[in-house]
Amino acid sequence: MFGDRGLGWKLGAALAVALGLAFLSARRAGSTAPDLLGCKAQPARWDGTMLRIHSARVVESDTAGFEIESDGVSARVVPAAAVAPGDSIDLTGTFRAQGQFVHLTEVRKIGGLKGPARLLSLVPVMVLGGVLLNLLRHFTFRPQALQVGRSPGGPGEGPRTLDAGAPPGAA
């Protein structure tokens, strides 16, 4: 199972099964849990379907509801919520074929870190920077540190150092 024999076949089979599952998932979702585009394309079929819309942008809002745009598809959401044009939101709701709107269940604003949260967001970046610096420290090529081990004692057989800056034969 882990040997080198038939490695290409084993790797190919694992990747093929993983890809097959991904295609199966997309195909099943298309017939059981459509996205907003699917609902708008076949409203009668998906009437009453529960939707989760991720990273939608609020285009406009009024007292009765608001308009969203997600992956190039726009939809009306009712009732109104505490969102303003330009906000990025995640929402769950029920698609209604009559009028082609989404009846809102829950909405959550995303993005726009403020105050301490913005400061905290710098920490992962700093840690990543530290990790990369540490890697550089370990893997920087230092030719002068390369020792060519030769048994000491014999004439001209002392340890030699390869130095990139040294003239040929100087080592």
Smallest gap from residue 137 Cβ to other proteins (A): 16
Structure tokens at 139: 């893997």
CA angle 53, 27, 46 (to 5 degrees): 50
Contact (CB, 8 A) for 117 and 101: no
The amino acid occupying position 38 is G
Structure tokens at 107: 């909405």
User: Helix (H, G, I), strand (E, B), or coil: what is residue 105?
Assistant: strand
For position 54 contacting other proteins by CB under 8 A, the verdict is yes
Nearer to other proteins, 16 or 145 (CB): 16
For position 135 contacting other proteins by CB under 8 A, the verdict is no
Q: CA–CA separation, 136 vs 44, rounded Å?
A: 59
Q: Which stretch binds other proteins (CB under 8 A): 61-69, 124-132, 144-152, 155-163?
A: 124-132
Sign of CA pseudo-dihedral 60, 66, 67, 68: positive
- Interface of this chain with other proteins, residues 88 to 107, rule: CB under 8 A: 90-92, 105-106
For position 123 contacting other proteins by CB under 8 A, the verdict is yes
| Given 41, 84, 120, 162, the residue binding other proteins (CB under 8 A) | 120
Could you list the residues that contact other proteins (CB under 8 A)?
2-4, 7, 10-11, 14-15, 17-18, 21-26, 28-30, 32-33, 35, 52, 54, 90-92, 105-106, 108-110, 113, 117, 120-121, 123-125, 127-128
